[in-house]
Each structure stands twice: as structure tokens, then as C-alpha cells.
Amino acid sequence: MFMKRIFHAAALALFITAPLHAGEVMLTISGDVAPGPDGGDWTFDSEALHALPVTSFTTSTIWTDGPQSFEGVLLKTLLDRVGAAEGTIKAIALNDYMVEVPTEDAVDGGPIIAYMRNGHEIGVRDKGPLWLVYPFDANRTYQSEEYYSRSIWQLKRLTIADGK
């Protein structure tokens, strides 16, 4: 029984720290979007996310010490890519935690789906592999509980609901 617990602990540690590889789905986008390449939901692995235009910024967050550099895909770019309707985004984390984000947040100079922090892939232990981050320091409007609550980490799924 002791050895079994050690094995499970080691396997969990590997999962938490191991980077995702090409082919492993990092993000699924569904709902009121155009059909994905295979006619269903949109899925993005590391390679597909890295193939999209990269946006980066440095900002402070309420969860980290000092300014942090984030790199990823502008939320606007991602929603445009999948043909998302205007409305509400249900952003869901690995542990099924969910927040709602209005599609109006998807603007140039707005939030990104970050996959890098301070030059390194974001591990699950460090709020990754994906983190919806706003450029808090660049826009005082983002420095409020309303926007902090939308900055979901360990992101795995976006579901778009038409606002009509």
C-alpha cells in the first residue's frame, strides 16, 4: 500500500510539472462559433496556439510578486479565429471552476491567453498551462475585482454563448 501511494504521488508530480507536447489538447472552444476544421469544436494544442500571432506584456497581478512578463494569444485574435459570436464566454479551468467573461473584453490591448510567463511555459502548479491575463498595469479599468475575477488560470475550455 505504501509503494502504491508513492507511485501515485510520483505520477501526480510528473503530471503537474510536465510540459504539454504537440498533439495534446490545451484548449477547446465550443458554443456559438464557426465549425472547427473537423466540423466540431475547435481544439488547440501547443503547436496550434504558438502558430497564432503572439502578444506579450509585462504587468503586476494580485497573485504574483512584482511585474511578470506574459506571452500568448490575444483573446480577440483567438475569438476572431474561431468566428465567435458576441455574447458571453464561459471560461472553465482544469478543476471545472468557471467564470463568465463578456466578449467585449476581447479587444486590442486587452487580455491574452498566456502560455508563457517570464520566458517559461506555465506549469499547472504555476497557474498554467493557460492563464487568461489582463494587462492590469496598462489600464486602470482592469484594476478592479470585476476584472481580477475574470483572470482565470489553468484554463482548459471556452464556451461562447450568443448574447441575443
Report the alpha-carbon distance of residue 74 to residue 133 in Å, rounded: 10
Predicted model pTM: 0.84
Cβ proximity of 160 and 84 under 8 Å: yes
**CA nearest neighbour of 57 among 124, 9, 112:** 112
**Domain residue limits, the chain:** 21-162
* Local confidence band at 74 (pLDDT 50, 70, 90 cut-offs): very high
- With respect to CATH, is domain 21-162 assigned 3.90.420.10? yes
Cβ proximity of 32 and 161 under 8 Å: yes
Write the CB contacts of 103 (distance below 8 Å, at least 6 apart in sequence): 79, 84, 85, 86, 87, 88, 89, 160, 163
pLDDT tens, residue by residue, 51-60: 999 999 999 9
